[in-house]
Each structure stands twice: as C-alpha cells, then as structure tokens.
Amino acid sequence: MDSALIPKGAKRCPFPVFATGIAVVGAVLLWGVYAMGLCWLKGLNQTNMNDYYGFALWIWADLAVIAIGGGAFFTGLLKYVFGIDELKNIINLAVVIGFICYSSALLILAIDIGQPLRGWFIFWHANVHSMLTEVAFCLSLYFSVLTIEFVPLILENRQIDKVPFFHNLSHNMHGVMAIFAATGAFLSCFHQGSLGGVAGVLYGRPFAYREGLLVWPWTFFLFTWSAAAYGPCFTLVVTKLFEGITRKKLVKDNVVNLLAKISGWMITTYIIAKIIDTIYWMGVTAPDMGFSVMDFYSNNSFYGIWILFAEIVLGGIVPAVILTVKKYRENKKLLLVAIILGVFGVCLNRWVMVLQVMAVPVMSFDTWALYLPSWQEVATTILPVAYGIILISLAYRYLPVFPQEQELYDTK
Amino acid sequence: MTQDNHGKKYKFGMVIDLDKCTGCGSCMVACMSENNVPFKEDETNKKDSITWMRVFKLTNGKPFPETDICYMPRPCMHCGGKGDHGHSPCVSVCPATATDYGHDTGIVSQIYTRCFGCRYCMGACPYHARYFNWWDPKWPDGMEEYLSPNVSPRMRGVVEKCSFCYHRYQAARDKAYHEERRDEIEESEYQTACTQACPAGAITFGDLNNPDHEVCKFVNPDPHQCGKPRNPKAFRLLERLQTNPKVYYISEREWVRKAGDNYRDGEWGKEIHSSDGNSHK
Amino acid sequence: MSELEKKTESGSVDAAKDGASSEQKAEGDSGVGMGILFFIAAFAVCFLSGWLLFPSLLYSKKEQPFNFNHALHVAETGGCESCHSFREDGTFAGVPKNSSCIECHESQLGETEDEAIFMTEYVEKGKEVPWLIYSKQPDCVFFSHAAHVTGAKMDCVTCHGNIGESTTMKPYQENRITGYSRDIWGENIWGVKKNPWDRMKMDDCAKCHQEETGSKGACFQCHK
Amino acid sequence: MKIDRRSFLGLGLGAAAGVTLSPMPWKLTDDSSIWSQNWPWTPVPIDGEVTFDDTVCTLCPGNCGISVKKVNGRAIKIEGKKGYPVNDGGICLHGISGLQYLYDPSRVRFPMVKNGDTWKQVSWDEAASLVAGKIKELKDKGMADSVACVAGSDKGSIAGLYKRFITSVGSQNFYTVDTMEKTWEMLIERVHGLNASAAFDLAKSDYIISFGTGFIEGWGSPVNNFLANSSRKERHAKLVQVEYRLSNTAASADIWLPAKPGTEASLALGICSAMISANLYNAAFAQSAGKDFEAFAKFVNEKYDPELVSRTTGVDAAKIKAVAAEFAKAKSPLAIAGRGKGESAGSLMEFAAVHALNCLTGNINKEGGFWTIEQQDSLTWPSVVMDDSATKSYAKPPVGAVTSVIDSGASGAGIFSAVVSAVSGGATDSGQKVLSSVSKLFEVINASEKSPVELLMVYNSNPCFTLRNAKVVKDAVNKIPFVVSFSPYMDDTAQLADVILPTHTSLEMTQDVYSGACIAQNVIALSKSVAVPVYDTKHPGDAIISLAKATEGSVASNFTWKTYSECLESIMGDNFATLSEEGYIASELAPPVTPLSVDFSLFAAFKDSISLEGDAKSYPLTLVPIDTIRLASSTLASPPFAVKTVEDTVLFEKDTLVEINPETADKVGVDDGDYAVITTSVGEAKVRIHLFDGIMPGIIAIPEGLGHSTGAKGEIITKDGSPMAGITGATSIITQTGGVSKNRGQLENLYIGGKGVNVNELIGPVMDPASGLDAAWGIRARISRA
C-alpha cells in the first residue's frame, strides 16, 4: 500500500499491521495530549506537585530523556569530529533518538511552566546567572542543530530523494554535517552540563549542592560526562529493541561492540569521577553544612542508602565492567544487561538529582516530603514516549535509518 | 552585582523574639490580609497553602513532662546570599529575572507578571518561603471588595512570597518625596504588616545598617561576617548554608537556637570552621 | 486508521506525481514562475494586512463620556497641579473627582454641550465621570509621581506629552487582547517613538532610569 | 492557469514571509503574554484615597480598638489601634479577618421564612408581623412566659433591648451563655459581698499562677493578655501554669506544673496550706479583713498538706512549697482560674480554691493584683410597663431556673442567690433574683413531653453549637414550635429556625461596648459602623424595636424610640456625646470605698472537684477540649484566614486530630495519623491521632471550634424568583470580577463548615451544685482504632 515510500529493497511489515500498531500507540499519545491540554487549560493544579515539590516527575523525565538522548551528540562527535567512521552505521538512529528526546524535552518544559504564554521570557529577559537560562538557550539551539542533522535523513526517503533539488540538498548537507555535529557537540556539552548545574548550584540544598570550577559545579561536568557515557547505551538498547521486534539484524556486531566499548570506557571514567565526587561531598561539602550522609538516606519510607548503591554499583560499576571487558561485552546477553543497566543508572541519577533533592528536609524541624504523581503527570510523561515510538517507527519504515540493513539482509 | 550590602543605603531586616511569640497566628493573617493572599476551601495541605508568613511549631523532642515547644514565624528571609552580595539562592537561579535583589534595600523582589512559573526558585529556597499559585485565586461572592490596591493580586501559574511589605516602603517613600525629604525614611514610617499586628510585640523591623534602629541594637550584626549576629542569643536560620538571611531570631532557650541550623553529633557548642575558611558557631 | 491510510496513500500519489513533474523539466519555467507569482501575492497580502489591517483589528475605540478642554482649563487655573494634585500622604490623586471640579463648577459655566452633560449627568446625579485614562498603567505597576515630579523635578510633558494644550479629547483606544490603552504601546505599531511620551512600556522607563540614575533600578522600584 | 505544488509552496512561503515581516506575530506574542499578566478573571482592586476609620472590635468580649483602612471609602484592612488602652496596636487573627465576616458566604441575605424544606424570602415587615402575631397569640392565651430568648451576653444596650422585650412580653426567660465571668461574679458576691466583676492586673503582676487558663490562648481579653505576657517577659515576672497539657501558655510559662486533671483546686489549696504553715501569707490582711480565717487554716492544714496534695495531683511536694514561697514573696502575686478560654462557666468551688490564694496575699484591688470592679449601670432605661397578662406571666419562674447549694462548712447548708446582671433591660423592681441557666433550659425542654417554651428568640448566640451536648440542644430547639433567629449567618442554630431576621455584622453597626473579660481597665466605647451593610439586614436593635412595635400594646409602649440610635442616645445620657467624639472613655480603676472583707468560710467548704461524666471502667481515658486562639469556639465560626492558619496536626482535610501521649497510643494500639473512634457517654466521633509528647498520658485532647455544619440545607426562593445573589449595599468597586466562586444558591460556608468534630457533641454538661451553672471541663472516654 505504502510500498512506494519504503526504502528500496527493505522488508517492512504489511501496512495494516503497522497502522494498527501506530493506532494503539496513538491512543496512548492522545491520552497524553488530553492530559497536556488539561494542564494548559486548568493549570498545574492538575498535578500532584506542591510547594515542596516544585520540580517533579516531568523534570526528571526531561533530564532523563536528554541524558539518554546524549547518544546523538556523542556519536556525532565521535563520527564527525574524531572520525570513527564505523559509527556512520548507527549515527542515523542516534540522531533520530536525539531529535525525539530533545523535542520531547522542549514539550515537557512547555507543559511544566505555569505560564506557557510567557515562556519566551527566558530568552528575552534572560538572567545569565541562571543555569536554567543556559539550559534553555543550549537546548533550543541544539534542537535546531538536531533538526538540521535529521533533515538529510528525511530527504533520503525514496520519493523525496527523487527530486533533484532535495537530492542535492541532502548531499550537500551531508558534506557540512561535521560542522553541525561539532557545534551540536559543543552546545550539547553545555546544556547537558547546565542541566547538571541546575541542581548543583542550589547552595540552599545540601543534598544537591556541589562545589566546582568557576561558575560550574561538579555536577555540570558529571552530567555531560554521564550523558556521553550512557547515551550510546540507549542508542544500543533501541537498536536491540528494533532487532527484537523486526526479528532482523540491523547493525553489524562490530559497530555495536565498538559503541559499547566506547560507552564502557566512558562509564568507567564517569563512575570513577562520580565516586570521587560522592566521597568529597560526603566528607567535606555536606558536613560543612551540618549534614551527615545518613541524614539524606534515613527517616523516610523510600529514600534509603540503597538508592546510592543502585546508582553507583548497579548503574555504574556493573555496566562499566561488562562493557570494558571484551569477553563480557561480546556476550549478547551480558551486553544487553549492561546497556539496560546503564540506561537505568543514568535515569536513576537524574531522579536522585531532581526528586530526592526536593524530598530531603533542610531545616532541622522540617520533614521529608514524598510525593506521588497524578495521572495527568504520568500521562504527560508517557506522551513523549508514545510520540517517540511513533516517530521512530515512521522513520524506520520510510527512511534508511540503518544503512547496513540491506547488506545484513542480503548476507542472511 | 558584586556590591556588598554593607554601607549601602538600607538593609532592611527583621528580628523575631521567639520567647515572646505565642504562636497566635496574627502575623500570618495580617500578612494575608495586607497582601491579598487568596485562600481555598481546604488549606490543610500545608505544602500547598500560600502563607508568606508561616508559623512553624518546633518541639524539643523530649518526653512528658520535659517537653517544650516553640513557635517560629518564617517570612521570606531576604537572603543576601553567599558573601552577602545579593546572589540569594533564589535570585541567582531565576531564568527570567523575575526575582531580583534590591541593593538599595536588601529586599528580594518577586515580580508576578515577569514570572513564568518554572519554580526553580522554590527548589532553591531551603526555607520553603516561596509559594506557587497552583490555582486561580478565588474569593467568595463579594469578598473581593476588601482587596487592597497596593499589592496586585496574583494570577495562576506564578510564584509569590513575602516582600517585607514593599508597598509600605513605596508609600513611605512617596510621602518622604512629597515632604521634600528625598527618600529619607523614619524607622516608624516603614514597618511590615506582621510587625505591626503582632500582639506580643515579638517582631521588630528596621534597617540593619542603622545602629539607631531596634533591629540593629537587638542582634548587633557583624558587617565583616555578612551580618552574622554578635548577640549570642540571636541566630539566623540555616546560618551554615551561607544564605545570609536578614531575618534574625532571638531565644534564651538553647534547644531553640540549636534547632535553627543543622549540626552533626558533637558539633553544637563548638566553634566550627568550615573548609572554605568561614567560621560558624 | 483509515485516515492515516488515506493520507499516506495520497502522499504516495503526490510523490509519484512529483517524480513525474521533475521529469518534465522543460515546463519547469512556468511552474517556477507561478510559484514566484504566488509567493509575491501571498507575501503582499499578508505583509500588508499585518501592517494595515491588524492594528485596526487589534484596537477598539471608545469615546470619552464628554469632551474636556485641557487648554482652556490650564489657562483658567494656571497649571496641571491645580487639578492633578498630590494627596497629603504623597500619593497622586490622578484625574480629579467631581468634588474638586465643583469648586469652580458649582453651577454650569458656559454654554457648551459638554458642560451640560457634566452637570446634568454627573454632578446632579452624584456620579463620578468614568474617564478613560490614556496613560493608565497596569495593576502590576507602582508609579510614584512624587519621586518623578517632586523628587526628580520632571515636567508632566515628559511623559504625558502636550495633553495640556489639547482642546479635545481623542478617542480612547484599547488593545482588545491586553486591555491596555494604546498610548502604552504608542500609535506606531512597531512601537517606534519620536517623543519620550510616545510609548510607555517598561523598557522606556528603564531607558530613562539608566540615563538619569545610572541604573535601571531594582524590579520592586516600580512593581507591586 | 495551472496550479501545482510549486504554487502552493510559493503561497505558503510568501504568506509566512509576509506575516513574519509584519508586526503581527511579534505584537501578538507580546500581547498574549500581557494578556496572561492581566487575565480578566484575576481581580484588579481600584486605587484611591486612603483613610482610616477607628472603631472597636466586637467579635469577642476583649473589645480591642481597631483602625479600618479604607481606599475610596472601601474597607480593605483591619489593624489594631495604636494607643487604645486594651490592645495598643496589637490585634488577634480574628480581628484582622473581620472583613471576611462581612462577605461570609453563609450570610443570610434577607429575612426568610422556612417553608418545609425550602426557605422563602419575605420583607422585613412581613417577617416582623409574622413573629409579632405569634407573640400576641401566646400573650392572649396567657402563655407569655413561654416566650424565651437566648442571647450571647447581657452587656450593652442591644442585649438590654432584647431583655426588655422579653420582660415586656411578660417572661423571665431571658438567658445568656454563661462564661467564667459569671462564676467570678458569683464568687465575689459570696466571698466579698460585692456586686462586682473580677479583673486581673496581669500586666503589672510579678508572679502569676494560672490554673489551667489559656492565658495566651484567648482567655479573658486576648490581645491585652498577649501584651501582658510580653511585658512579663521583659520584667522577668514569673508565670506558673498548672495544666495537664503543654499548651502554649504552659510553654510560655516559667514553671509548668502538670497536675492531674481535676486536681487543680487541690493544688491551689496545697499551695495555701504551704503558705499558711510556713507563715508566708499576709497575716495582717487575713486577720483584719478575713472572716473565719482560722477555720480555713485548720481545714487546709488538715486536708491539703503539700505531701498529701502531691499524691493526688502528681506534683512534687517540694515544688509546691517552692512555688508557694515564691508566690508569697512576690510583690504583686496573682492567681487566676477559668479553664481554656474561659468560655464556659466552670466550677465555683474550684475558682474559690484559686481565689483563696489571692485572699492569702491580700493583693486585692492593688496594682498588679486581683480587682473587684463594681458593675456600673451606665445605661438609664425607662422603667418597663406591663399590662395585666404580662404581669401575671412574669410571676412564673423561668423554665431554666436553677438553685445553687453551698455547703459552707461550719455554718451549714445555705442557699445564696446570684445576681441578675446589672445591665438589665428593665427588670421589674420586685427585687426577686432568680438564677437560671441556659443549659438547664434545654434540658427541661427535652425532658418535657411538650416544650414549655413556645417561641424562642436567638440573638448573638449559637447554642446548637456552643452548648455542651449540642445534639440534645438541637433536639430541644427542634421541639420548640417557633424559633426566631436574629443571626447574620446561617449558623447551626439559624438552620433550625422558622424565621430568620438577619442582623448586621459587627462592622456594619453601631453599639456601645464595655470593658469586660476580666481586664483590669475601665473602658466604655462606641463601636461605629465602618461598612455599608452588604445585604438586606437590619441593626439588631432596630430589628427588636420594630418587632416590639409590631407586637403593639404594652410591649410597643416600652419601645417608643424610632430607631436604635435614638434609643442609644437617650439611654446613654452624657456619655453618648463624649463617645461620639472621642470613640472611647477610659477611666482609672478605683478600689471600692468600703474596706474589703473576705469570707474564708467558703474556701473551707471545698469538698471535691466536679467529677467527670462516665465510669472509669468503660471509659478509661479523659477527654478534654483544647482551646486555641486560632479557632473561634464561641458564637462566631472562624473566618477563612484563621482556618488557614490551623496546623495540620489539628485539622487535616475534614478530620479533627486529637492529641494523645505516645505512651497512651501504645496502650490503645494507635499510631500517628491513624483513624480512631472516640466514645463517651454522650456520643462518638471518628478522628485522627496526633501523637504529642507534651500531653499527660491518659488524656485525649480535642480542639474546640471545629464541627460547624456547612450551612443551609434546602433551596432558597427569592421574591422575584431570581437566583439568590446580589450585593445590595455596596457598589462593585473592582474593575474585574472574574475570580468569584459560583454562588451555590445555598448559604454555605465550606471554609469552616463540615470540618472536624464539634467537641460539644462528645461532652455533656455537668451542673455545678455550687453555682447551678455548667461546670463540665471534660468527660471520660475511650478510644479505639477505626
């Protein structure tokens, strides 16, 4: 039915099957859109956020999607700047994921603010001292870059490509992509960092506060590093997911292993830095403010020391070991465990840096604040996931996302 | 932005005598009434209840009959921030300059029409002094008639907080200008609504830079240590975070003073030197 | 589902056509020409309506309750302050109330129709005149006349223009979206100003403060 | 012409470029954000000239001076009046919230008659003739004594008018809600033989022992006490609080003596004993002024030795002696009684035990001491004229008549009569003084098959909420054939009325105000109207005058004034002119001319404290009310602002939280936040648990002032059938009025109504044999997990 649009020679499921799948996800999407509409029309009272929990599920989702979308800038950086050419076989996917993640993040921010019509004040009346300003500028700029990076892929659609103008445009854009990738990497480094800075600069919140370099707290660097380290994990998770669903091999093992190896080493270095940071924070930063570490992990029903263990050991050391050791990395099951743990680890880190920050009492007579999101919050958080699934499915169906697909199919 | 508060024209601050405070709640209501603070049918979820001035109830945690309680009124602290330069925790994070530090008064503003409701400042404030308008403000039929024109009612979706009744300062300045005093304002001409209402006389308000003002006499702030009180019975909330609040508390009771900050085991009572060279007690 | 199907289908048909048209490049000229023509036409329509139609749609016009001759009153009373005065507490009274008007207008002065309206509709009925204020600032603004007039010795004209010389009241124009008087943004739709009183947005306040005091001032200086 | 895709592309691009280069998108972006800054549903209060109107707050008997801030004549804020003798600028949270009472959503907008399940709007004339008709009918049948009135207090000209009305009709059934002031008055009459009110010079005393009073929680004149407490801190004057719970007063006190509940009087006598045995009392005074002092000394030495008292009270004997010594040595020591806010009468003998301490020090009618303030009759009423039927009916005793028996030790059993308040609206001069109690009234009605009261008028009181065993009171009110409410609000009692004649709220009316609430000051003030009446209501004085006129005959002839203001002017005499000008008259306290005498025999007659209702076996715990200033527990319900300040450990969502000690909680098997059921012999209620270390084990404390009903049930039918709304008095001065919640068509206050439990539905009245008044201060109870 839509065969004219499908990349040449690629095998895709019958259109009705595809359409049904999209419709199911679309229903979820609509549910999210409905919740989003409620939040815009009736206000943020639709959420379970409160004055103690000004930042909640959405901001976590925002930080998490940006972290896992970090695969785009890092893979781009490796391919275009460091010239690791094998990665061209996975860069398209990384870009699509990045695009989805960043557009979702922007959407979430637009829902999250109390006065969406005034959202542009962040640019127009910017306070340069605010990490959020930095986030907004870099985020939107990098989103533009991602759009530019995404366009050539769209232009490669079989039908569009037939138009000479688009064909040439696509070709020329590929030529200059290195510049965009470099710009993107730079911008991305900054806003990943500034997202880390968002929590790190809060010197009124001993749980989040970190010292740092110049105006940037250590979390700034840790966030950038962790996004670079864990982003590829998510790219790989999505690849594996696609391969599982389509029951096809889409990316060659050497590419996967290369990215996994790079990610592994990045995680290793990151987790070492994170451990050092944690120890310094436990030993110096927090005690200076009158807190012992266990103050942050006791007297409440949820946040125990387990969360620190889960983040550092399960989400850090374990994937680091698996991905750096060749034997483990090449074991398909272990690799899968490692990349999933990696994604879990970075998401947990973002959770801790948003929700636990809000939960920990600071005044000696204050109490822990725990919160459960409302359905509207859950729906609007799922909304980008549904949107992502739809967009990535469309991209997979109609665009040559996996350049090795044909080759792998043929060899099979 | 790196000006110091010391030697500036005014540095308005507040001193609250916790031994005189009876927890009666007049300050809270005076504030709500003065500042057009709305109310909802259910205000028992204190995490979603706009109270620019909130009275916390502290207990010493001891069993009967050794128990003691203390009420602690908490307005906005109008922090001077690290080094007292005006980089208050909230001011420095606001992405749209909707809250700023008035170097001529030491007052942290909140401009409702500029605020777009990102709530970053609320996360930054360790005192929970900032409140978000989760709901449209609503008054029962006719009750809007009592709203004051001196403070603009807030719309849904923005953050609000105590302003040290800035409009009273504006009014006092208007009068001073009118009387050709430029803007020289007497201590009694600018007092906050809570100070004025407190039936126990527990709240004092004035210029911390002016040694003739009661607030200055009560706490004797040390200009070389960002206004740290030299009166041993006085303290500021969370002094160790270096937020440098302009609200001081006084109590004869040691446990109350201790509750004003966080101390690890054995730290209380000792001179504490933090790694950045600042000393605390 | 079916809709999606249709869309994709039509898309693919389009795409097929597209392929076809690209092959007929010989006829390309006329295609491009039409494109340019449409471009220019659309541009012109949108551009002009944005400039000409939009402002007239954006603002509503209201007439004042009756005409007021500023020039005449200034000549009679000697200056703005005689009617637009400060109260004892230093606040600015703004537009005078009937009580101060009837200090002179005890009974009808002159034979104008406006005077008659004032006397019969308002003074006799004990109703204040619902003047529409051209320079009305929004609720979030605290503007201290005392600081500007008494403190900085500014002239009324600097902000209010030559309204004192006017003999008639212009219609009051209100922004339908914001409810602001048009004078806040100014007559010019781009907000370009020639005189200091042509526009009264916050940036204009800030500019003057910057020039006169060396600082834009803290937010709370003028906000409430 | 061929229109292809390029044309569309051109069209689109051209439009986009054209729009972008025009001011439209940019201006719209700016304007839409400005729109959000000026949402039409967010109100914009209009600016104008600021003025201040001084008056006196009449929300509670404290009567503080207030300044009402107005903008263009519109009241926007209430502040304490600087320099006013009572409060000197201070103000309580209810006073500040005064303006909220004006626009309370449960305000009755116009006179209404109940018609089955609905309320029908009637005119004032219709309402008055309806009520007057009923009264005439009863009077004609010779049943004028079955007309009764319950008023909040008997002070001032308005209460005087209501009392005068009842008297004119021919009934003695005029009741007020009894407070500790009444008990103190009875005590002074008995001990000192004076017709005087009690006052405490707390601001000057240097040592105060408070027996369970909520000294800084609404007791007496609340704001005056806050000032006194702060001055006490500055002067380092001591406060000793005797209480089983760490109340705010106990927390503020220098010494907290947690005596077991019900043993406070014993502790007082124990301190007396310690003082006498150590010869620390004012012997000269006791000898010169005292009667039967020796008997009292013997009595306390035998029965209230500190060691003995220590056992019953749980307070260390050494501590008792130490306090006794400090108290005796103080320059101006003072002992005060009246539990909580003193809103119920309390036990006469308990007060006596406390007052014995004052009599031992002799610090009476001196600076910093206990004062007897002679009740002045500052109002001059014309005498009441009664026709034959009225005179006949008036001879019958009131339905709620009580007798008080005091076993005064050696002198044997005796009956003494209490004083009918001096500010009477025209009592006959028969001199017959009959004591009656409002609680007794409702008890009698309930016990009778047919209500002995045919017509009940309720003014400035809410007995269905404030009286102990409120459910039974409601039953009684339902039993009365015709109930007329003068309440401005659809309160718990008004809901049960047949006719509501809505009166002004305090800020809308003028009235005379007298210092009371045990304040050691003499202040007469005129509380002025500072707001235009919001609804079609009447001044309560005018309401009763017009009712009297409609009743015609001799009743009308006793109400010759055209309006209330004319009445006030004529009965106030010279004071009226001064008050109209100055606002208030404050005069120095002066000791009575005759030397003070003390009859110690009453103190020696102390037997036992009032015991609580319920047996200890089935009800092992003691339930006591908590009085807090943040919750009004009298006639008026708390305004929304005050409710907002209530902690979540007192009220959460719609649940009352009760305080219990963790130890008690362990025994009962409940934990913080749990739901639990409290059962007493009077009723049961579902509450939540709040663990508090500061309360004595074995006690459950429950906040007062919650549990108001939401408002009117049933539809309200207006005269023209239009939906009920409409503010008749004031013109709207707000430019934008969008944020107004929808009028429900019902008179509901959901800010306080329907929240929590009314303590009075768990605690029943206990008649004090000594005074005949209700002396209940708690009840035995049990609690279990729900």
Residue C25 has pLDDT above 60, yes or no: no
Strand partners, D598: D290
CB pairs under 8 A between A and D: 12
Residue D614 has pLDDT above 80, yes or no: yes
Q: Cβ–Cβ contacts within 10 Å for residue C81, how many?
A: 11
Cα D771–D775–D779 angle (5° rounding)? 155
Same domain, D147 and D261: no
Same domain, D215 and D308: yes
Chain C partners of D70 at a C-beta cutoff of 8 Å? none
Contact A159 C16 (CB under 8 A): yes
Residue D308: predicted pLDDT: 94
Query: Which of C1, C15, C19 is nearest residue A20 as measured by Cβ atoms?
Result: C1
Residue D625: predicted pLDDT: 96
At D745, is the pLDDT very low, low, confident or very high (cuts 50, 70, 90)?
low
Residue D593: predicted pLDDT: 84
Q: Please, where are the H alpha helices in chain B?
A: 26-34, 89-93, 120-124, 166-178, 193-197, 214-219, 254-259
Contact A51 B128 (CB under 8 A): yes
Measured distance CA(A256)–CA(A253) in Å, rounded? 5
With contact defined as beta carbons under 8 Å apart, do D731 and D133 qualify?
Answer: no
CATH of the domain at D465: 3.40.50.740
At A186, is the pLDDT very low, low, confident or very high (cuts 50, 70, 90)?
confident
Contact A4 C12 (CB under 8 A): yes
Same domain, D155 and D282: no
Residue D696: predicted pLDDT: 97
**Could you tell me if residue A61 is inside a domain?**
yes
Residue D663 has pLDDT above 70, yes or no: yes
Residue C140: predicted pLDDT: 93
Q: Mean pLDDT throughout A302-316?
A: 95
pLDDT tens digits for D757-773?
Answer: 999 999 999 999 888 89
CB-facing half-sphere around the CA of A359: CA atoms within 13 A: 21
Crossing angle of helices D124-140 and D540-551, rounded to 10°: 50
User: Structural domain tally of chain A?
Assistant: 1
With contact defined as beta carbons under 8 Å apart, do D68 and D78 qualify?
Answer: yes
**Could you tell me if residue D191 is inside a domain?**
no
What CATH topology corresponds to B12-262?
Alpha-Beta Plaits (3.30.70)
With contact defined as beta carbons under 8 Å apart, do C101 and C122 qualify?
Answer: no
Q: Residue A207 contacts by C-beta under 8 Å, 6 or more apart in sequence?
A: A286, A291, A296, A356, A357, A360
pTM over 0.90: yes
Residue A164 has pLDDT above 50, yes or no: yes
Same domain, D172 and D214: no
With contact defined as beta carbons under 8 Å apart, do B237 and B77 qualify?
Answer: yes
User: Structural domain tally of chain D?
Assistant: 4
User: Subunits touching A (CB < 8 Å, at least 3 pairs)?
Assistant: B, C, D
Q: What is the residue range of D27's domain?
A: 9-35
Q: B152 — contact with chain C (CB < 8 Å)?
A: yes
With contact defined as beta carbons under 8 Å apart, do D64 and D223 qualify?
Answer: yes
Q: Residue D315 contacts by C-beta under 8 Å, 6 or more apart in sequence?
A: D257, D258, D259, D267, D309
At A84, is the pLDDT very low, low, confident or very high (cuts 50, 70, 90)?
confident
Measured distance CA(D85)–CA(D88) in Å, rounded? 6
pLDDT tens digits for D549-562?
Answer: 999 999 999 999 99
Q: Cβ–Cβ contacts within 10 Å for residue B63, how many?
A: 12
Q: Which of A69-83, B187-201, D589-603 has the lowest mean pLDDT?
A: A69-83
Residue C102 has pLDDT above 50, yes or no: yes
Percent of chain D topping pLDDT 70: 92
Residue B8: predicted pLDDT: 64
Q: Cβ–Cβ contacts within 10 Å for residue C7, how many?
A: 10
Tell me which residue of D76, D74, D54, D50 sits closest to D65, measured CA to CA. Answer: D54
Contact C142 B178 (CB under 8 A): no
Same domain, D493 and D580: yes
Residue A69: predicted pLDDT: 86
**Could you tell me if residue D297 is inside a domain?**
yes
pLDDT tens digits for D669-716?
Answer: 999 999 999 999 999 999 999 999 999 999 999 999 999 988 766 678
Residue C104 has pLDDT above 70, yes or no: yes
At C28, is the pLDDT very low, low, confident or very high (cuts 50, 70, 90)?
very low
Same domain, D398 and D363: no
Q: Residue A183 contacts by C-beta under 8 Å, 6 or more apart in sequence?
A: A145
Measured distance CA(A30)–CA(A386) in Å, rounded? 9
Contact C139 D11 (CB under 8 A): no
Residue C23: predicted pLDDT: 43
pLDDT tens digits for A91-104?
Answer: 888 889 889 999 99
Same domain, D503 and D430: yes
Q: What is the ipTM of this complex?
A: 0.91
Q: Please, where are the H alpha helices in A247-374?
A: 253-280, 286-288, 306-309, 318-324, 326-329, 332-351, 357-359
Crossing angle of helices A253-280 and A332-351, rounded to 10°: 40
Same domain, D447 and D484: yes
Same domain, D564 and D441: yes
Q: Cβ–Cβ contacts within 10 Å for residue A20, how many?
A: 13
Residue D2 has pLDDT above 90, yes or no: no
CATH of the domain at D338: 3.40.228.10
Contact A2 C1 (CB under 8 A): no
**Could you tell me if residue D450 is inside a domain?**
yes
C-chain residue closest to A166, CA distance: C22
Residue D355: predicted pLDDT: 97
pLDDT tens digits for A139-152?
Answer: 898 899 889 888 88
Across chain D, what does the average pLDDT equal? 89
Distances (CA, A) of D416 to A197, D190, D598, D655: 80, 8, 16, 45
Q: Mean pLDDT throughout D509-521?
A: 90
Tell how many helices (H) and how many strands (E) occur in chain C. 10, 2
Tell me which residue of B236, B204, B246, B251 sits closest to B69, measured CA to CA. Answer: B251
Strands D207-213 and D238-242: parallel
Same domain, D468 and D404: yes
With contact defined as beta carbons under 8 Å apart, do D257 and D309 qualify?
Answer: no
Backbone phi, psi, residue D415, to 5°: -115, 130
Tell me which residue of D573, D547, D574 sits closest to D559, measured CA to CA. Answer: D547
> Which class for D752: exposed (0-12), middle (13-18), buried (19 or more C-beta within 10 A)?
buried
Residue D418: predicted pLDDT: 35
More confident residue, C111 or C176: C176
Q: C179 — contact with chain B (CB < 8 Å)?
A: no
Residue D733: predicted pLDDT: 40
**Residue D490 has which token pair?**
């659809």
Whole-angstrom distance between the N-terminal and C-terminal Cα of chain B?
Answer: 29
More confident residue, A400 or D467: D467
Tell me which residue of A107, A124, A202 sits closest to B98, measured CA to CA. Answer: A124
**Could you tell me if residue D517 is inside a domain?**
yes
Q: B150 — contact with chain C (CB < 8 Å)?
A: yes
Q: Mean pLDDT throughout A215-223?
A: 91
Q: Mean pLDDT throughout C167-173?
A: 94
Radius of gyration of chain B (CA): 19
Q: Mean pLDDT throughout D504-509?
A: 95
Measured distance CA(B118)–CA(A109) in Å, rounded? 9
Across chain A, what does the average pLDDT equal? 90
Question: Could you state, in chain order, the average pLDDT of each consecutive group of 10 residues for chain B (281 residues)?
Answer: 59 97 97 96 95 96 95 97 93 94 94 95 96 94 93 96 96 92 87 96 96 95 93 96 96 96 89 56 45
Q: Cβ–Cβ contacts within 10 Å for residue B271, how many?
A: 8
Identify the sign of the CA torsion D166, D171, D172, D174. negative
Contact D6 C35 (CB under 8 A): yes
With contact defined as beta carbons under 8 Å apart, do D643 and D654 qualify?
Answer: no
Chain C partners of D40 at a C-beta cutoff of 8 Å? 179
D-chain residue closest to B66, CA distance: D694
With contact defined as beta carbons under 8 Å apart, do A236 and A339 qualify?
Answer: yes
With contact defined as beta carbons under 8 Å apart, do B164 and B78 qualify?
Answer: yes
pLDDT tens digits for D344-399?
Answer: 999 999 999 999 999 999 999 999 999 999 876 688 999 999 999 999 999 999 99
Q: Residue D220 contacts by C-beta under 8 Å, 6 or more apart in sequence?
A: D62, D200, D202, D213, D338, D342, D517, D518, D519
B62/chain C closest Cα distance in angstroms: 45
Domain finish residue from D563, D586, D609? D586
Distances (CA, A) of B52 to A51, B90, B167: 12, 15, 15
Residue type, D332: S
Query: Which of D29, D35, D37 is nearest residue A120 as measured by Cβ atoms?
Result: D29
Q: Residue D609 contacts by C-beta under 8 Å, 6 or more apart in sequence?
A: D262, D263, D264, D265, D266, D347, D349, D350
Q: Mean pLDDT throughout A102-117?
A: 93
**Could you tell me if residue A6 is inside a domain?**
no
Strand partners, D688: D657, D675
Q: Residue B51 contacts by C-beta under 8 Å, 6 or more apart in sequence?
A: B28, B31, B32, B37, B131, D644, D645
Contact B30 D91 (CB under 8 A): yes
Which segments within D99-247 are labelled E, that is strand?
Answer: 112-115, 118-121, 147-151, 174-176, 196-200, 207-213, 238-242
Q: What is the residue range of A293's domain?
A: 15-411
Residue C9: predicted pLDDT: 40
Percent of chain C topping pLDDT 70: 86
With contact defined as beta carbons under 8 Å apart, do A228 and A71 qualify?
Answer: no
In which residue are the tokens 């699934």 written?
A: A389
Residue type, C83: C
Find out whether the peptide bond into B65 is cis, omega within 30 degrees of 0: yes
Measured distance CA(A65)–CA(A146) in Å, rounded? 15
More confident residue, A379 or D431: A379
Measured distance CA(D233)–CA(A279) in Å, rounded? 48
Measured distance CA(C77)–CA(C62) in Å, rounded? 28
Residue D502: predicted pLDDT: 97
Strand partners, B140: none
With contact defined as beta carbons under 8 Å apart, do D462 and D487 qualify?
Answer: yes
Q: Residue D7 contacts by C-beta under 8 Å, 6 or more apart in sequence?
A: C34, C35, C37, C38
> Which range, A190-194, D75-79, D717-721, is most confident?
D75-79
Q: B34 — contact with chain C (CB < 8 Å)?
A: no
A220/chain D closest Cα distance in angstroms: 32
Residue D411: predicted pLDDT: 37
Strand partners, D333: D207
Radius of gyration of chain C (CA): 28
Residue C27: predicted pLDDT: 45
Tell me which residue of D69, D65, D58 sits closest to D85, measured CA to CA. Answer: D65
Residue D505 has pLDDT above 60, yes or no: yes
More confident residue, D495 or A246: D495
Strands D598-599 and D290-291: parallel
With contact defined as beta carbons under 8 Å apart, do D711 and D746 qualify?
Answer: yes
Residue D738 has pLDDT above 70, yes or no: no
Q: Mean pLDDT throughout D47-60?
A: 94
**Could you tell me if residue A3 is inside a domain?**
no
Percent of chain A topping pLDDT 70: 100
